[in-house]
């Protein structure tokens, strides 16, 4: 693989990763790019590049997934315990992203499951993002985000 192709591929991966939905995916894509670059530098062939991308992708996804767990726990607590219309706020201690969640009244959703919708305002890397999220209880009573 030519150096120019490798650089173009790495930049494309990094640009695509900025559009990803969560940190696990971003970590996986970033890890794959770094692994591909390292694999090419070490092995200097396509096989080494692919192996590097696979290993880097798995490691990056695992790290990104761990970073998401704190925010997911906080969101689950908001669905579980917050009164309807009351704002729940937190700041992720690892990345300093800030969240405000306002859960709404529970209702019976698909398959007769209990569901709740929440308004979410997130400040991620200085950018404010607003969204609505719906979670329904699974058969074990845990909140499960819909549409993910």
User: Which residue ranges make up each domain of the chain?
Assistant: 3-67, 83-145
* pLDDT surpassing 90 at residue 10: no
Residue 118 pLDDT class (50, 70, 90 cuts) = very high
User: Residues 6 or more apart from 145 whose CB is under 8 A from it?
Assistant: 75, 133, 134, 135
Residue 49 pLDDT class (50, 70, 90 cuts) = low
Supply the pTM of this predicted model. Answer: 0.54
pLDDT at 117: 94
Q: Over the stretch 53-97, which tens digit does the pLDDT of each residue have?
A: 665 555 455 434 444 788 888 988 999 999 999 999 999 998 888
């Amino acid at each position: 693989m030519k150096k120019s192709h490798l650089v173009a591929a790495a930049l494309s991966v990094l640009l695509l990763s900025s559009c990803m939905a969560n940190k696990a995916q971003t970590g996986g894509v970033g890890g794959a790019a770094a692994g591909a670059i390292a694999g090419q530098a070490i092995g200097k062939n396509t096989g080494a590049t692919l192996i590097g991308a696979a290993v880097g992708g798995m490691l990056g996804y695992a790290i990104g997934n761990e970073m998401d767990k704190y925010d997911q726990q906080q969101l689950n607590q908001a669905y579980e315990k917050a009164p309807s219309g009351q704002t729940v706020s937190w700041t992720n201690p690892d990345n300093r992203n800030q969240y405000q969640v306002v859960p709404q009244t529970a209702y019976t959703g698909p398959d007769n499951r209990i569901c709740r919708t929440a308004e979410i305002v997130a400040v991620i890397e200085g950018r404010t993002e607003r969204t609505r999220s719906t979670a329904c209880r699974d058969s074990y009573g845990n909140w499960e985000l819909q549409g993910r």
